[in-house]
Structure 1
Amino acid sequence: MRYHYLLLLAAGPLFSTLAHAQQLGPLTVEKIMRDPAQWLGSSPSNVQWAEDGKTIYFSWNPEKARRDSLYRLAPQGGTPRKVSLREQQTLPATSGQYDQRYTRKLYEKDGDIYLLDLKTQRIRRVTNTAERETDAQFALQEQAISYTRGGNLFTWNPATGETVQRTDFRKGTRPASGEPTDKGEKYLRAQQLALFEVLRGKDQDAKARQRQQKALARLRPKAIYLGQQTVRNLRLSPDGRYVTYTLTQEPASEKVAIVPNFVTASGFTEDINTRTKVGAAQTAYQLGLYDVGRDTTFVLGYKELKGLDEQPAYRKEYQLKAKAPMPADTSKVTVKKEKPATELRRVIPFGPFWSDNGQQAFLVIRSTDNKDRWIVALDPATQQIKLLDRQHDDAWINGPGIGYDEGNVGWLPDSRRIWFQSEESGYSHLYTVDVTSGQKKALTSGKFEVQRAQLSRDRKTWYLTANKTHPGEQHFYRMPLEGGPLTQITTQPGGYEVSLSPDEKTLALRYSTSNQPWELYVMDNKPGAKMRRLTHSTTPEFESYPWRAPEVISYKAQDGADVYARLYRPATGQPQGPAVIFVHGAGYLQNAHKWWSTYFREYMFHNLLADKGYTVLDIDYRGSSGYGRDVRTGIYRYMGGKDLTDQVDGARLLTEKYGVSPQRIGIYGGSYGGFITLMAMFTQPDVFKAGAALRSVTDWAHYNHGYTDNILNEPYNDSLAYARSSPINYASGLKGALLMCHGMVDTNVHFQDIVRLSQRLIELKKENWELAVYPVEDHGFVEPSSWTDEYRRILKLFETNLNPGSAAPRTAGGQ
């Protein structure tokens, strides 16, 4: 489409004047760190098809407003139109659940449940209450709708309009019956009834009422008392006989880290309660089952689950160390060998997931240490489980389509086989397993990852997103239900986010390249079909600069592994020039790819550095996503190990292949990248002359449980992993110039982290460091003024210490 500013082409001299005024010119930190919506443009996001396939909805901000708005556009193209608030109120929610034949859609909106007929587009309101209803599902062989309200399960019959409460969960414990239990009290009660007729009459009336209430109670669900537990994930079996639910038990009160907020509207310092630290007690989970026919509840057990009693492999190291040496003369010593008590690991259940015919169900069960993931068949009648697949990793279970919950799972149409993703081969691929025979089959294979997988609506075809052609490219594929060759649909290098139209004949695509932000396209669902662009989001000012398409290279690490990276080179190289290595955050994230980076500010900063003569290397170090299990878990029990040596090997590559001076290499990054920067400056001081560590983890024992426990285990069980992985323990090794930047209201990596490290540097009498604090910023900076200040300091650090022709190297602050 033609964006509105292109209409000025007809204005001749006027447009020339405006275009000249909007030239970006030489890059500066002040220019590139402005509010991106005001000068770069705002890419379309949250792309969704209307249920009739005639409209594409997306979030967009061409007006440079404070936030995005909802827009609509026909797939044939045209001018995008902003959707009014009144119209938005009438639209169905984009998320929801479809029935098996894709004739109806259930969704929640503003706390109520709605049912949409996809053929007539008629919407029925299922609930209209002040309470919030959630988790709408098709139930009872899709003849009813189930939902949760106030912690209980209800069903609604579309044919009759009848609502039935299916569960009666109550907090606390069951109240006492009122009958005396003490022998003396029983005697006195019997005596009173024997003596007084009036009391006998009242007693008979009370018992009659109790009988009547008991008869009525048979028509209502069983009262289930939860004690201190809470309930969620309520599910009704397709035949209505069972209700399954997840019981959670929060740990006893744990100490929570507090972040003070100094710059507040009230003028008073306000404390922000954030989180516990790694190793704190965690929530306990159980799967409950209510047998409606038997009016009985059960809690599922897992004692027979294969491997549940296996202890993590790393503990063997500590067990060997803990063994006391035997006396020299063992003949006089009798050693009693006792078999250690079996310790069962705790688990989290997900599901159940019912087959289309309603006759089979399976669960996904994960150990709380994330070292095992089981897929089991469930028989609710006997409360028995049958192992179908066990995925074990001495490090931790994760990867595309797997995650930290149930992962990407489902039933095939035959109601006999389950599909799921697994890293069994070293890469995340698609598998099936037969619930009867236990036979497992890999549907995809190879040294690439299946990032996303979904079945077509007729359930005959797979649609996959995978990096099959190159680790830094993602393409959309089609594959037969039973596996086979992958047919590549998209062809241009870059990255794709694909949304299928309801009839699956057309694709709505968010597509980008490394130097072109995301735009909205459509194409026919055919291999190699032409992509038609629907939006134009970037501004003339952004487009006036020739943004580099960084080369994606690979090199060999010292242990022989392949490491991928983005390389930015100056237009005119200089012998023995300076270089900067950028370390992306998150650890498990990919940035050496061929699409528009989430680190777009850093991308523009790297262009600025290249303009100033720097070579920039952006490495997907060990622990990054996109490269399979071994790279993902390469940091297990030693963060600052292979992930750091990958940076050192990158520095060597810069000197040996690209003519960089080994005395002029800097490093910087935020969050995990800040952590690596600290480890580099403290443990590799002869490799890195200067470093900027932003919002850095300085001591992993102070970070959260969910992330850290997977990689380093608990600090009280694996103290060695924490000792060798925490920069604060190596601060004495600092030689080069170090800049540290941190938001004071960071609720992720707390400001306390950098304060503790600062005190350590003070006590070590280190002088060549500087700390810049940002009073209003959380972990991810928001204010352009903060971004500008931070990157001006980073640039000054590198220019002062690395750039040829600058003044003699000084401290990080240039003092």
Structure 2
Amino acid sequence: MRSIALGMLLVAAPVTAQAAEAPPPGLEAALAYPFPTSLIAAEAADRIAWITVVKGVRNVWTAAAPDYRAHPLTRAVADDGQELTGLVLSPDGTRAIWVRGGDHDANWPIEWEPNPADSAQLVTLEIWSAATAGGAPVKIAEGDAPAISATGRVAYIKGDKVWSVDAAGKEKPAPLIADHGKAAALAWSPDGTRLAFVSRRGDHSFVGIWSGADRPIVWLAPGMGFDGAPVWSPDGRRVAFTRRPGAGGAPEPMLTETPRPWSIVVADAASGEGRAVWQSPRTANGSYPGEISDGAALMWGARDRLVFRAELDGWPHLYSLPAAGGEPLLLTPGNFMVEHTTMSRDRATLLYDANTGAAAEDDDRRHLFRVPIDRAAPVAVTRGEGLEWTPVTAGGDRIAFVAAGPTRAAEVRVTGAGGRDTLVGDSSAGYAPPMVAPKRVVFKASDGLTVHGQLFEPAGGGGKRPAIVFVHGGPMRQMLLGFPYMDYYAHSYAVNQYLASRGFVVLSVNYRLGIGYGRAFQHPDKSSFRGASEYRDVQAGAKYLQSLAGVDPARIGIWGGSYGGYLTALALARDSATFKAGVDLHGVHDWSRLIAEEDKPAVRYEKGDWEATLKSAFESSPVADVARWKSPVLLIHGDDDRNVRFNQTIDLARRLDDAGVRYEELVLPNEIHGFLRYADWLKADVATVRFFEAELKGK
């Protein structure tokens, strides 16, 4: 085992500091892409705001009509490892609020805030505010999840309780609601005088209404389920929310999928009286769409109609129904996925992105559409070979969104009548490392399932090249024919482009369990810890590469992070004859240990299929096949990971040592799952490129 480290854990003979630090030519340029995220619009003003990240430096930006010229609200210059999230605008657009710090993608709570920059000072989770007209930002509180009212009050969560402060930070923050539950999902009434919130209470949750310090909380139609996602009616008299069954009942089987029914409840905000106005069917397709961005995406539209997302026909689509109840109307029919969704200012039209369009390849892209809330008449807003996502209303007929392409990094744009685009802020044209347009390819797994991939072929000809399979994480993700809309995968896309520029043929495999190809594809039989059927798609990807005339079939590698790290390790353990080297970033290596640590049922007489699940989980794990593992691997993991525990990689390394398998390690102290610092991504990428070049080119 060889350790790659500088300021990292050293276990055996390390490479030199210079080798660990100096990036190969062009890598830093490849990683210098801008990534705009968290695009939002003011409810009653023609103003937008977003966060841009470049090489780990995060800043808040804003732009307003008529010219939408962007200007920064913050001027950070350091790669400090503190994320910016929770961006909101006041309804009148005069103030922006955001959160600095934390790990908002974590799978479980941690008592301390991330500190990947190794600060000797206490790192806190902070809420900041800035006037959009200009002026220095101010820290107004310590907390999370801010919601700003029409009156300028900011409600937020601190220590699982609801607090409040004025938006300018002139007053001292104070507790707002004394409730023994854990608060979530804050939503102000349209007039800003009342606050809806969720009180999480372990095996159930309630939706409550706060209307003043001298008035009791009104609980809305309290029941025995998990209530969540409250939304106000435009007149502020009613609240709609989702309801799912509470915890309990006989142990549910873990080795087979069971329906997850849910309902929509509408309640009077003053009295709390309410009833379910819609109940999903008790079928797999009727399950709550919790593995999709924004979940049910519940909204209250014009003409007293509720809008929500469901998978009733096997695809994530938008539906609407009268707030009084009735049959849901499918608004977006077709074999595609509706993802990020918002509503026009008059609440009569929905804006969304989806993987569909005029070209067959659009199922591996995103384009924008609009549809009325009361009839199935979608209209395309964008089209072509680019990708567009997260639309928001920018005022009048204008829509702001993020756009990217196969060789163009993401940038914020505004479109109006006739589809004319206006660039907002800096263009991504300055980002121009060597890149290729990936090709959409389709191949079959051994059981006949159709699998999609994106093929990156190096420019120029000449001989048979080494090749690499890339497997995304999630697993509910989809890699696209251009820069993706998630920062983790924008990074993966840039690395795949760089590997292609270094002469590797790269195939990104959209294996079963991923999104974009229907619910049946996303929920296959005997997948994950139930049998790892998705690994067939990885094998099929390798066979596809081996069939290409320009690929050396004896020099195939594999890499991926998180769930992709799991599949990388599984490939090396089961098929070292095919996969000659791999890079495994923070992967799961023993499902049985993960399940025992996180999902163990309460002590009770009924055990369900617990023992059978642990057996299947172990047999579906890379550690079960370490005896067959021959190929070298680079293991990369941050030890403050809140998604895949660091012990998963420690355990694998011990087993590889015992089996005599050659491996290298890169450990990042205090780093989380999705590395917060560009410097840490750079270390990982330098190690990845050097490892593949040594193992697949140097022989």
Q: TM-score, normalised by structure 2?
A: 0.70
Aligned twin of 2:668: 774
Structure 1 residues 397, 573: closer, same or farther in 2, change over 3 A?
farther
Tell me if 1:95 matches 2:15.
no
8 Å CA contact 2:285, 2:311 repeated in 1: no
Amino acid at match of 2:507: L
Name the CA distance, whole Å, in 2 between partners of 1:112 and 1:780.
22
Name the CA distance, whole Å, in 1 between partners of 2:584 and 2:23.
18
Structure 1 residues 720, 349: closer, same or farther in 2, change over 3 A?
farther
Aligned twin of 1:451: 339
**C-alpha offsets along residues 753-799 of structure 1, whole Å, 9 cap, x if unaligned?**
11111222333x33333334334543334566654554454345434
Aligned twin of 2:8: none
Q: How does 1:71-150 map to 2 (within 5 A)?
A: 72=63, 76=67, 81-82=71-72, 95=88, 98=91, 135=147
Structure 1 residues 515, 766: closer, same or farther in 2, change over 3 A?
same
Tell me if 1:618 matches 2:496.
no
Amino acid at match of 1:606: N
Aligned twin of 1:334: none
Structure 1 residues 755, 362: closer, same or farther in 2, change over 3 A?
same
How much does 1:45 deviate? 4.8
Tell me if 1:493 matches 2:388.
no
Name the CA distance, whole Å, in 2 between partners of 1:457 and 1:707.
42
8 Å CA contact 2:127, 2:141 repeated in 1: yes
Amino acid at match of 1:627: Y
Name the CA distance, whole Å, in 2 between partners of 1:493 and 1:529.
16
Name the CA distance, whole Å, in 1 between partners of 2:563 and 2:143.
42
How much does 1:548 deviate? 0.8
Structure 1 residues 239, 665: closer, same or farther in 2, change over 3 A?
closer
Name the CA distance, whole Å, in 2 between partners of 1:168 and 1:604.
45
Amino acid at match of 2:408: Q
Name the CA distance, whole Å, in 1 between partners of 2:307 and 2:342.
10
Q: How many equivalent pairs are there?
A: 600
Name the CA distance, whole Å, in 2 between partners of 1:451 and 1:231.
26
Choose 1 or 2 for highest CA Rg. Answer: 1
Structure 1 residues 53, 758: closer, same or farther in 2, change over 3 A?
same
SS of 2:24 mapped into structure 1: helix
Say which is worse superposed, 614-623 or 792-801, in terms of deviation. Answer: 792-801
8 Å CA contact 2:265, 2:274 repeated in 1: no
Tell me if 1:580 matches 2:454.
no
**C-alpha offsets along residues 484-527 of structure 1, whole Å, 9 cap, x if unaligned?**
3322122232222455555322233432112111223333233x
Amino acid at match of 2:661: E
SS of 2:458 mapped into structure 1: coil
Tell me if 1:389 matches 2:279.
yes
Aligned twin of 1:365: 243
How much does 1:445 deviate? 0.8
Amino acid at match of 1:628: G
Structure 1 residues 61, 358: closer, same or farther in 2, change over 3 A?
closer
**C-alpha offsets along residues 383-414 of structure 1, whole Å, 9 cap, x if unaligned?**
56335121556599565895576x31123323
How much does 1:95 deviate? 2.2
Corresponding residue to 2:587 among 688, 696, 704: 696
8 Å CA contact 2:406, 2:481 repeated in 1: yes
8 Å CA contact 1:418, 1:433 repeated in 2: yes
Structure 1 residues 390, 784: closer, same or farther in 2, change over 3 A?
closer
8 Å CA contact 2:266, 2:323 repeated in 1: yes
Name the CA distance, whole Å, in 1 between partners of 2:347 and 2:318.
15
How much does 1:676 deviate? 0.4
Amino acid at match of 1:624: G
Structure 1 residues 60, 74: closer, same or farther in 2, change over 3 A?
farther
**C-alpha offsets along residues 435-479 of structure 1, whole Å, 9 cap, x if unaligned?**
545322211110011113333222332322222221122112222
Aligned twin of 2:409: 517
Alpha-carbon RMSD across the aligned residues, in angstroms, is 5.0
Structure 1 residues 714, 706: closer, same or farther in 2, change over 3 A?
farther
How much does 1:675 deviate? 0.7
Corresponding residue to 1:374 among 237, 247, 263: 263
Aligned twin of 2:205: 285
- Which runs of 5 or more residues in structure 2 are unaligned? 1-21, 76-85, 100-125, 134-139, 167-173, 248-258, 602-607
Corresponding residue to 1:475 among 348, 363, 367: 367
8 Å CA contact 1:581, 1:666 repeated in 2: yes
Say which is worse superposed, 713-722 or 491-500, in terms of deviation. Answer: 713-722
Amino acid at match of 1:348: F
Aligned twin of 1:413: 302
Name the CA distance, whole Å, in 1 between partners of 2:596 and 2:94.
38
Amino acid at match of 2:665: L
How much does 1:67 deviate? 4.4
Q: How does 1:605-644 map to 2 (within 5 A)?
A: 605-634=495-524, 638-639=528-529, 641-644=532-535
How much does 1:680 deviate? 0.8
Amino acid at match of 2:515: S
8 Å CA contact 1:391, 1:422 repeated in 2: no
Corresponding residue to 2:25 among 21, 31, 42: 31
8 Å CA contact 2:59, 2:73 repeated in 1: no
**C-alpha offsets along residues 280-338 of structure 1, whole Å, 9 cap, x if unaligned?**
xx5653456899999898795647xxxxxxxxxxxxxxxxxxxxxxxxxxxxxxxxxxx
Name the CA distance, whole Å, in 2 between partners of 1:52 and 1:362.
22
**C-alpha offsets along residues 11-64 of structure 1, whole Å, 9 cap, x if unaligned?**
xxxxxxxxxxxxxxxxx9523443878xx35355555567886766555589x9
8 Å CA contact 2:401, 2:412 repeated in 1: yes
Name the CA distance, whole Å, in 2 between partners of 1:596 and 1:465.
13
Q: How does 1:121-270 map to 2 (within 5 A)?
A: 135=147, 229=181, 246-249=198-201
SS of 1:482 mapped into structure 2: coil
Tell me if 1:442 matches 2:330.
yes
Amino acid at match of 1:34: E
Structure 1 residues 239, 590: closer, same or farther in 2, change over 3 A?
closer
8 Å CA contact 2:232, 2:238 repeated in 1: yes
Amino acid at match of 2:371: M
SS of 1:677 mapped into structure 2: helix
SS of 2:25 mapped into structure 1: helix
Tell me if 1:735 matches 2:630.
yes
Aligned twin of 1:331: none
Structure 1 residues 596, 656: closer, same or farther in 2, change over 3 A?
same
SS of 2:557 mapped into structure 1: strand
How much does 1:734 deviate? 0.7
How much does 1:607 deviate? 4.0
8 Å CA contact 2:210, 2:216 repeated in 1: yes
Structure 1 residues 113, 538: closer, same or farther in 2, change over 3 A?
closer
SS of 1:718 mapped into structure 2: helix
How much does 1:133 deviate? 12
8 Å CA contact 2:473, 2:560 repeated in 1: yes
**C-alpha offsets along residues 89-115 of structure 1, whole Å, 9 cap, x if unaligned?**
xxxx972575xxxx899987899999x
Structure 1 residues 524, 616: closer, same or farther in 2, change over 3 A?
same
Greater relative CO, 1 or 2 (CA 8 Å, sep 6+): 2
Structure 1 residues 32, 720: closer, same or farther in 2, change over 3 A?
farther
How much does 1:605 deviate? 4.0
8 Å CA contact 1:32, 1:601 repeated in 2: no
State percent identity of aligned pairs. Answer: 23
Tell me if 1:355 matches 2:346.
no
Tell me if 1:662 matches 2:553.
yes
Structure 1 residues 247, 463: closer, same or farther in 2, change over 3 A?
closer
Aligned twin of 1:752: 647
8 Å CA contact 2:568, 2:584 repeated in 1: yes
Name the CA distance, whole Å, in 2 between partners of 1:300 and 1:134.
26
Tell me if 1:798 matches 2:692.
yes
- Which runs of 5 or more residues in structure 1 are unaligned? 1-27, 86-92, 122-127, 157-164, 171-225, 250-281, 304-346, 808-815
Structure 1 residues 635, 793: closer, same or farther in 2, change over 3 A?
farther
Structure 1 residues 549, 708: closer, same or farther in 2, change over 3 A?
farther
Aligned twin of 1:565: 453
SS of 1:665 mapped into structure 2: strand
Name the CA distance, whole Å, in 1 between partners of 2:96 and 2:617.
45
